[in-house]
Amino acid sequence: MSAQSTAPSTPDVARDFSDLEISSTVTSPAATRPSSPIPASLPPSPLPSGKHKIAVIGSGSWGSALAKIAAENAVKRNDEFHSEVRMWVREKIVNGKPLTHVINRTHLNSRYLPDIKLPRNLVATPHLKDVVKDATLIVFVVPHQFLHTVLGELSRPGVLHPGARAISAIKGVEVNGTDIETFASLIEGRVGTPCSALSGANIALEVALGQFCETTIGCPTHEDSLLWSAVFNAPTFRVSAVEDVNGVSLGGALKNIVALAAGFVDGLGLGGNTKAAILRIGLGEMTEFCLEFFEGSQRETFSNESAGIADLITTCYGGRNRKCAEEFVKSGSTFDVIEKKLLNGQKLQGTATAEEVHNFLRARKRVHAYPLFEKVYQIAFEGLPPKSLVRGL
């Protein structure tokens, strides 16, 4: 959704789908939280009947981990899904061989998620059009820097199935002057498919190793939440659904700014008390930002859900943003240099988000209301010494 005015929040209970069985014709009323509806410009398109075909757009570490879960579920729930799940791989030569060939022959994504065996029914495909052909459920999980290119190709007439549903697992925001949008909203607007959001305390490698965790899906309708829960819910990947698409999207995006602050704390050699303070202040700014600018979003998404507090914690201790920000303080190198040095082709999301959010707040004349976000921006982009992080907070 685009930026809007403050709205009151109403508490509700998220739904756990651990024992889920789905039907593509579910019509029961939503049991999840109220939130912003699909824009009026998008008439809800009928969901195709029959088995659903899943496509995953993105094959980085998170793309591969999510594709693994979806492909495993597609086999387990063969009455609901086509067993073949296609994953878009931006072709790259790895050790002299195209990455798609490596993945399809060895069932390993040696470039972005090495040592994790991928299911045989997960097929790496280099051309976007082939990945989404006949797909009814489309997972968007490219680093946010590359989404526009992907949407340019997918928004051409006839490329996507008219009744398809989408979900975004991308963490970031889209800013244009005084407007801000989630990627779920951007995808919905550009390709015309209702789009949900998935976010949570989900470090890709830990998920792929099958270590227990939770995630949150924010869906515009109950029908969407049943579908996406069936795609992703697993014994070690517990899905809970809310209708707060914006809150789920913003939790994932904004925590990356706070994770940079946590990395600065580590780089400065400060202890657990300081980091806890940063997390508390950061969670407050994340929540208020969402409530101020995204009508219908829910405070509880931040305080109760994996997409809120839990993701903030895991990223501030184990994420790439934290790691690179620590190195920024210790080495004095730029983030571009550090990303290349430490991430082996993976992409940092927090610096771009800090800049986008700063530009938006400046355009809205609200920078002063979000002092931690602003400090992170100034340290990362304007040469403010990292040790001034906590001054004046």
Ligand X SMILES: NC(=O)C1=CN([C@@H]2O[C@H](COP(=O)(O)OP(=O)(O)OC[C@H]3O[C@@H](n4cnc5c(N)ncnc54)[C@H](O)[C@@H]3O)[C@@H](O)[C@H]2O)C=CC1
Instruction: Enumerate the active-site residues.
Output: 255
Q: Which of 110, 346, 359, 378 binds ligand X (CB under 6 A)?
A: 346
In contact, 157 and 224? CB cutoff 8 Å = no
| Region 67-106 residues binding ligand 13P, contact defined as CB under 6 A | none
The stretch among 57-65, 235-243, 262-270, 375-383 that binds ligand X (CB under 6 A) is 57-65
Instruction: Pick one of 77, 90, 107, 133: the residue that binds ligand X (CB under 6 A).
Output: 90
CB of 148 to ligand X, least distance (A): 10
DSSP 171-187: --EEEETTEEEEHHHHH
201 binds ligand 13P (CB under 6 A): yes
Question: Least distance from C-beta 320 to ligand 13P, angstroms?
Answer: 3
CA distances in angstroms from 55 to 62, 141, 160, 246, 358, listed in the order given: 14, 11, 11, 23, 34
- CB burial of residue 197 (10 Å; 0-12, 13-18, 19+): buried
Q: Are the beta carbons of 248 and 199 closer than 8 angstroms?
A: yes
Near ligand 13P by CB under 6 A, which window of 4-12, 189-197, 316-324, 371-379? 316-324
CB of 21 to ligand X, least distance (A): 27
Among 154, 169, 242, 389, binds ligand X (CB under 6 A): 169
CB atoms within 10 A of CB 391: 10
Distance CA(287)–CA(302), nearest Å, equals 6
For the bound state, the minimum distance from the C-beta of residue 345 to ligand X, rounded and expressed in Å, comes to 6
Helix (H) / strand (E) containing 80: none
For ligand 13P, which residue has the nearest CB?
Answer: 319
Looking at residue 28, what DSSP letter applies? P
Q: Are 63 and 198 in contact (CB under 8 A)?
A: no
Q: Counting contacts by CB under 6 A, is residue 60 touching ligand X?
A: yes
Sole window of 29-37, 107-115, 223-231, 314-322 interacting with ligand 13P (rule: CB under 6 A): 314-322
Residues 6+ apart with CB under 8 A from 352: 144, 145, 172
Cα separation, 153 vs 165, in Å, equals 17
**Taking CB under 6 A as the rule, which mask of x and - marks residues 138-167 in contact with ligand X?**
---xxxx-x---------------------
Q: Which of 170, 184, 195, 203 binds ligand 13P (CB under 6 A)?
A: 203
349 binds ligand 13P (CB under 6 A): yes
Largest CA distance in the chain: 59
Binding site for ligand 13P (CB under 6 A): 171, 201-203, 256, 259, 311, 314-315, 319-321, 349
Chain contacts with ligand X (rule: CB under 6 A): 58-63, 90, 112, 141-144, 146, 169-172, 202-204, 345-347, 349
